[in-house]
Amino acid sequence: MSMYQVKPVCGSLLKPDLPTCMYTLPNIHGQQGNSCTSDLCSEHALQNGEVDPAVKALEARQDEILRKLYELKAAVDGLAKTVTTPDADLDLTVSSSLSSQSPSSTTFTGVTNLDTLLGKDLGALRDIVINANPAQPPLTLLVLHSVLCQRYRVLSTVHVHSSVSNVPPQLLSCLGPRHADSYARQMFQLGFTLIWKDVPKLQMKFSVQNMCPIEGEANVARFLFKLMSPYPSDAALATLVDSWVDMAFFQLAEGSAKERAAVLRALNSALGRSPWLAGQEFSLADMACYCCVLQSGPASSTPSNVQRWLKSCENLGHFSPAKPFLQ
């Protein structure tokens, strides 16, 4: 039994008058029947095991946002650490350098775990901040910085404090040239910030919340050397290294002429029994004594064993950053 026909209410060709005060929408009745809407295309892609292009674009956008947030967090953490440092009132940022870990070998033995020594890395760059007087450049620290750059990715920065009016150009570039990627702090393992400031004694600050400042070039050198190689496990040998370091800074560098002569005689006697001051291995004792011996006078005025030892130290290649200040 056939049903009766009903005339269409409005034809497809009928164009009704629309108000001009509202947004216009496309006529859904005028779309082709075989056209694929976004929902149908998404279902088709899911049925075939494919990933919806819109989802891919959303994931890529999310990854880019997370990457930018990570970089921003690392930059803010670095700025926060600098601001919370009491000596962060800096006037001029001079240079930054990126020194990637190089395969060149050193004479140091043992491996130091930064997380064990400095605490677990929580995302912020572990920045070592050193205040030094430009009238007394810390040559041992410049040498240690050069060796640190062979072990770790170090972000090195030099600043000038407002208490210092004039700093020689060689001190401004003592840690190397500025690197183009110095803004990406998350690429580095260590930060080495040297501030030329009018201070009576060299100071180092690492963690303001958990660590008191370390004063004196000898103590800071011990801290930095432990970042590369642990102290000897033998207590007697470790005490010997400490005694040479103290003699270098307190008698060779700051002592009278009589005290310097006594230390040179002790050096000559010790180097007559072994190639290095602490036995068969190069140590912090050799590094500190080398810089202090040459600061106290010319190498030609030292005993024969000391002169031979000075040449052996130079052959290692660690002391090139201190050479311009020893001439």
Is 130:141 a contact under the CB 8 Å cutoff? Answer: yes
Looking at the predicted structure, is the pLDDT value of residue 88 above 50? no
Mean pLDDT of the chain, nearest integer: 77
Per-residue pLDDT, averaged over 42-70, amounts to 76
Residue 94's pLDDT is: 38
Answer whether 115-227 and 235-325 agree in fold. Answer: yes
Looking at the predicted structure, is the pLDDT value of residue 221 above 50? yes
Residue 103's pLDDT is: 36
User: Over the stretch 3-53, which tens digit does the pLDDT of each residue have?
Assistant: 777 776 665 666 767 777 766 677 666 655 544 555 555 555 555 556 778
Highest mean pLDDT among 111-115, 167-171, 188-192: 167-171
Residue 242's pLDDT is: 92
**Secondary structure (3-state) at 217:** helix
Residue 278's pLDDT is: 87
Residue 90's pLDDT is: 39
- CA distance readout (Å), 245 to 43, 114, 222, 227, 289: 74, 23, 9, 17, 7
| Topology (CATH) of 115-227 | Glutathione S-transferase Yfyf (Class Pi); Chain A, domain 2 (1.20.1050)
User: Over the stretch 143-188, which tens digit does the pLDDT of each residue have?
Assistant: 998 888 888 888 888 888 888 888 888 888 888 777 666 667 777 7
**Secondary structure (3-state) at 202:** coil
The CATH code of domain 235-325 reads 1.20.1050.130
Q: Return the higher-pLDDT residue of 101 and 126.
A: 126
Q: Please report which confidence band the pLDDT of residue 86 belongs to, taking 50, 70 and 90 as the band edges.
A: very low
Q: Return the higher-pLDDT residue of 263 and 126.
A: 263
Per-residue pLDDT, averaged over 200-227, amounts to 83
Question: Which residues touch 181 (CB under 8 Å, ≥6 apart)?
Answer: 98, 187
Q: Return the higher-pLDDT residue of 66 and 267.
A: 267
Question: Nearest to residue 196, comparing CAs of 111, 132, 282?
Answer: 132
Strand order in the sheet with 126-132: 90-99, 154-161, 190-196, 126-132, 203-205, 214-215
Per-residue pLDDT, averaged over 201-219, amounts to 80
Q: Please report which confidence band the pLDDT of residue 280 belongs to, taking 50, 70 and 90 as the band edges.
A: confident
Q: Where in the chain are the domains? A: 115-227, 235-325
Q: Please report which confidence band the pLDDT of residue 104 belongs to, taking 50, 70 and 90 as the band edges.
A: very low
Gyration radius from the chain CA atoms: 34
Q: Please report which confidence band the pLDDT of residue 56 belongs to, taking 50, 70 and 90 as the band edges.
A: confident
In this structure, the strands spanning 154-161 and 126-132 are unpaired
Looking at the predicted structure, is the pLDDT value of residue 202 above 80? yes
